[in-house]
Chain A
Amino acid sequence: MEAERTLGGLRCRDVLAELDRYVAGELTPEELAAVEIHVSGCENCARFGAAYAGVVTRLRTDTKDRVPEGLTERLMSRWPEP
């Protein structure tokens, strides 16, 4: 992993491995402190972490309760004989 750094006692690949827990807010205070030290000094991890969080956010907010108009009505007119 070219350009990998060690900051906050963590290598970049260590931060990558914990990125899901970081985004989910599941790191312990000690883990969080180490990751934040690393990210504050590592542009690659800062950029990747932001992009990862952005994709997760889009996944989680893109879902809408928006069934296409007319789809349900078309369905309800199609029940075959039981």
Chain B
Amino acid sequence: MNDDGELLHAAADGDRVAMNELVRRHQGAVWRAVRGRTASEAIAEEVFQDTFLTAWRQAATWRGEGSVRSWLTGMARRKAAHTWRRRVGEPAEHTPLHELGLAAGWGSDPEAAASAAEDRDTLLAALATLSPADQTIVGLCDLEGHTGPEAAEILGVTANAARVRLHRARLRLMKALREDAHGS
């Protein structure tokens, strides 16, 4: 069986069979990278296809740094990021952690967030309202299963910085879920 790099080089020469094999091998990972960063399945499908079509067109640009999978999922995450809209009035990064906790329901109704998260579409829609940075760290660690140190290396930050970002992002996700629960 050809390794991914060989398949991608073949795809760069126009080999559709090779490209199809790459799609079969990495469709799950690309789908996970996309679905958790888009507000709807329809948008996710568009980004999924766009990712592989771009990989087909740009196969010759892969330089062998890192795995083909990480190249594909990185591309997918960036494409998904372009489908987001920023929320007006997004809180500054220096918001004290305990204030994020209060907004997430500490001391009042934290169960609202957990209950809303039971519905997959609600959970992913809430995730899609977060900033690109928040979506990326939650996506890397909680959706794609990267460890904190792995996410830190991908993002080019310290392990502690990645850890803090993840924790704060999860609290903002709980706030978004709680708002959804109160709004419905």
Contact = CB atoms under 8 A, between A and B. Distances in A.
Tell whether A and B belong to one assembly. Answer: yes
Nearest to B33: A63
B128 interface: no
B49 A13 contact: no
B32 A74 contact: no
A34 B31 CA distance: 41
B98 to A, nearest CB: 4
Contacts of B19: 79
Interface in A48-70: 48, 50-52, 54-56, 58-60, 62-63, 65-68
Interface string A15-54: 0110111000000000000000000000011011011101
A74 B49 contact: yes
B101 A13 contact: yes
A20 B170 contact: yes
Chain A's interface: helix, strand, loop or mixed, by majority? helix
B53 A78 contact: yes
Q: How large is the interface on B (under 10, 10 to 19, 20 to 34, 35 or more residues)?
A: 35 or more
A68 B31 CA distance: 9
B107 A55 contact: no
Contacts of A52: 104, 110, 170-171, 174
B133 interface: no
Contact of A16 (B56, B97, B166): B97
Contacts, number: 123
A3 B107 contact: yes
Q: Which of A48, A52, A78 has the most CB of B within 10 A?
A: A48
A65 B28 CA distance: 5
B105 A58 contact: no
B143 A59 contact: yes
A67 B31 contact: yes
Contacts of B31: 65-67
Contact of B32 (A56, A63, A71, A75): A63
B101 A71 contact: no
Contact of B98 (A1, A21, A72): A1
A2 B110 contact: no
B7 interface: no
B83 interface: no
A58 B98 CA distance: 23
B111 A62 contact: no
A16 B98 contact: yes
Interface of A: 1-3, 12-13, 16-17, 19-21, 44-45, 47-48, 50-52, 54-56, 58-60, 62-63, 65-68, 71-72, 74-76, 78-82
